[in-house]
Amino acid sequence: MVMKRRWPVTSKTYWCPECNIPLLSSYCYKCGGEGYELKLREPGDVRLAFRYDLNQILKSLSVEKQHSLLNELSRKIILLNKTTHIDDAKEVIVDGNIFGIMLYNPFERKWEFRPSYYGALHLLEKNAVETCIVKDKIKTNQLLYKKVGLVKEKYVILVNNNGEPKGLGKTMSNGKIRVIKVYKQKFYFETSRNTATIQDVIKGNEERLRHMENEATKFLLKMHSKISKRPIVSFSGGKDSLVSLHLTLQSLGECPLLFNNTGIELPETIETVYETADKYCLNVEEANAGNAFWKSVKFYGPPARDYRWCCKVAKLVPLARKILKKYPTGILNIVGQRAYESLDRAKSPRIWRNKWIPTVISISPIQYWNQLAIWLYIYKYKLKVNPLYYVGFDRIGCFMCPAGRLAEFEVVESSHPELWNRWEAFLYKWAERINAPKEWVNLGLWRWLGPATPKKILAKNAREYVEKWKEHYKAWLDMTVASVSINEKESRIVFSRNIDLNKVRKTCYVLGREIEEKEDTLTVFNGNRNIIYAFTRKGILTVKAKENLLEETLDAVKVIYRSLYCTKCLSCETLCPTSSIRVDIDNGVIINPATCITCRACLDICPIADVLVEKIVISLILGKYDAWRRKSRRKREKVAKFLERLLRVRLATKCPNIS
């Protein structure tokens, strides 16, 4: 099943039928001919296939005569286009046509290959696949008669009496064949099918690539002249940031590298960062998260696509502390972001201000480069790229990122078993805590916190568990919600355990400055007492408000959890616009009431308040797993702009020359 997504921007790739090479534009600079546009699945971010990929294609085909087919394919330029399916999927382009699609089967933990009509013709020509003659018309999901001698769970080409492909079938355990696909579209492009090299591709794209380089360097020069901040290149150890770095060196000269070491990078990545820095004699400013992820995961549980506490703990905080200390007036941050990497990046502008560190202005010289352009640039200038790309890795970063696919995790497991075993051991331990089935680990269900559609599809044998998200959420927490009562003017929430009012008192100033303490109750008043928050030692929260009662209640809940469970990530201390917060190693968060302006930005920065409470606790309070989407929730953009204004004032006070 394919998950359809609409991309705001897509990449176009062309093919020269004479030279048999891919093109970045419709004109081939090698032969002077015109290329045609490839019809690819969105966003069309094609890349070159490497030897590892060719072996993977042949293995997924399970074809006979693999050696001869490998020899033929290795002499051609082959493209891969990553797309979506139940897990990983890649369109394979050979000789300017879609040869087929590789699909990762998460249940069998193996790659499968479904040839297109063109691919079927080619495989039949090489006598490399099993066939089954079908005389009558066929339709998708139709069951055909048994054929003796076929291996079960294997693809076969369904042909007519003349040996022409009619469709694709898959053998069943009972020996029958299920029709997977009917070849209705039988058109394909005629090309020379000549062999070609990378140098041929570079030659065919010479002027287009030069134009892209010139545009990128002019962009860098223009932005540098407009923004009087120190340029610094964010270097992740990946191919995109490598190209951005090289473009920067060509246009602006030497500048330092900013490396965010999350503590969960693969060793090859760290080696690549420092080898690259040594090669170009550059300084590395390392924002090191140390062991923050492994310490925090014991409290938060595994990160998920809809539960990204890790980005704050392992990325935002180390980067913010490094930048604010080293470059208090800000930086011009040159990054390797590309629009075709994700939907979020496709929606991102080419120039933006960091919402949490507003003195950082980020720019991407390669925002609209596709992977083909990136790799041609790398080969043209003979840049040394991270070796992980040649052994099956499509992306470089945190090795267990929940945005990853099971196929990618399998590559991590095979290449770095000690790291993956550590992560998997933690997952099994957490699964036991929340009473999750084995599929939660084996099928990567942990990558979604709530019952998202992809999670339901994967959990075909554990659907009941996915639907019981409330039980799952309660087991996730140390302190959960016992009862909830919310009417027009008053709310009352009872928690499952007592509350340490001494800790709450140190952080409650974000709600209001006036505080009263009587026996086992702590009361906070906001402004002219139009909002009253009452916390009891027995774990009861009562809020009275004439307006916006729900959000005032939820902010009070955030204060409670933040007070009791502070993980010392330092996000609030680092980014408080008035420097009113101190994180004590023994006592947690302490707010100075004399300087706190109750802006509550700290509640939106704190991973406990903004992630754990928003995604789990509030979902239980409101009875909706996606309660974080509520319309009344404080808008991030509004908070970020407010934070920017205050933080700029704070920095201007310390650094009068700030721009």
Residue 658's pLDDT is 33
| DSSP 8-state symbol, 10 | -
Average of per-residue pLDDT across 569-587: 93
Of the candidates 314, 331, 234, 326, the one whose C-alpha atom is nearest the C-alpha of residue 273 is 234
CATH 3.40.50.620 residue spans of the chain: 206-391
Residue 654's pLDDT is 58
Question: pLDDT tens across 183-202, in order?
Answer: 998 999 999 999 999 999 99
| Consecutive H or E run containing 36 | strand 36-37
Question: pLDDT tens across 450-477, in order?
Answer: 999 999 999 988 888 999 999 999 999 9
What does the angle CA 586 – CA 577 – CA 658 come to, to the nearest 5 degrees?
Answer: 130
Question: pLDDT tens across 386-426, in order?
Answer: 999 999 999 999 999 999 999 999 999 999 999 999 999 99
- Alpha-carbon span 65 to 129, nearest angstrom: 9
Task: Give CA torsion, residues 500, 505, 506, 508, to 10 deg.
Answer: 120
- Alpha-carbon span 184 to 553, nearest angstrom: 59
Computed on alpha carbons and rounded to an integer, the radius of gyration of the chain in Å comes to: 28
If pLDDT is split at 50, 70 and 90, which confidence band does 657 have? very low
According to DSSP H, which parts of 36-76 are helical? 51-61, 66-74
Tell the CATH topology of 14-182. Sulfate adenylyltransferase (3.10.400)
Residue 289's pLDDT is 98
Question: pLDDT tens across 527-557, in order?
Answer: 788 899 999 999 999 999 999 999 999 999 9
Window from 1-5, 408-412, 610-614, 653-657 with minimum mean pLDDT: 653-657
Is the full-model pTM beyond 0.85?
A: yes
Residue 640's pLDDT is 74
35-39 LR contacts (CB < 8 Å, sep 24+): 36/96, 36/189, 37/12, 37/13, 38/13, 38/14, 38/93, 38/96, 38/98, 39/98
Give the DSSP per-residue string, 537-570. Answer: TTSEEEEEESS-HHHHHHHHHHHHHHHHH-----
- Alpha-carbon span 642 to 600, nearest angstrom: 10
Residue 644's pLDDT is 74
Question: Are the C-beta atoms of 55 and 92 separated by less than 8 Å?
Answer: no
226, with CB counted inside 10 A (0-12, 13-18, 19+), is exposed
- Provide the b/e sequence for 17-36 (b: ≥16 CB within 10 Å): bbbbbbbbbebbbbbeeebe
Give the percent of the chain with pLDDT over 70.
Answer: 96
- Alpha-carbon span 299 to 606, nearest angstrom: 14
Window from 142-151, 236-245, 429-438 with minimum mean pLDDT: 142-151
- Provide the b/e sequence for 244-258 (b: ≥16 CB within 10 Å): bbbbbeebbeebbbb
If pLDDT is split at 50, 70 and 90, which confidence band does 145 have? confident
CATH 3.10.400 residue spans of the chain: 14-182
If pLDDT is split at 50, 70 and 90, which confidence band does 148 have? low
Residue 648 above 70 pLDDT?
no
- Alpha-carbon span 519 to 534, nearest angstrom: 12
If pLDDT is split at 50, 70 and 90, which confidence band does 656 have? very low
Window from 184-193, 221-230, 642-651 with minimum mean pLDDT: 642-651
Residue 212's pLDDT is 99
Window from 142-156, 177-191, 341-355, 579-593 with minimum mean pLDDT: 142-156
User: For the chain, what is the mean pLDDT?
Assistant: 94
Q: How many CB atoms lie within 10 A of CB 548?
A: 12
- Alpha-carbon span 285 to 36, nearest angstrom: 45
Average of per-residue pLDDT across 418-443: 98
- Its CATH class, for the domain covering 206-391, is alpha beta
Residue 65's pLDDT is 57
- Alpha-carbon span 167 to 229, nearest angstrom: 60
Residue 605's pLDDT is 94
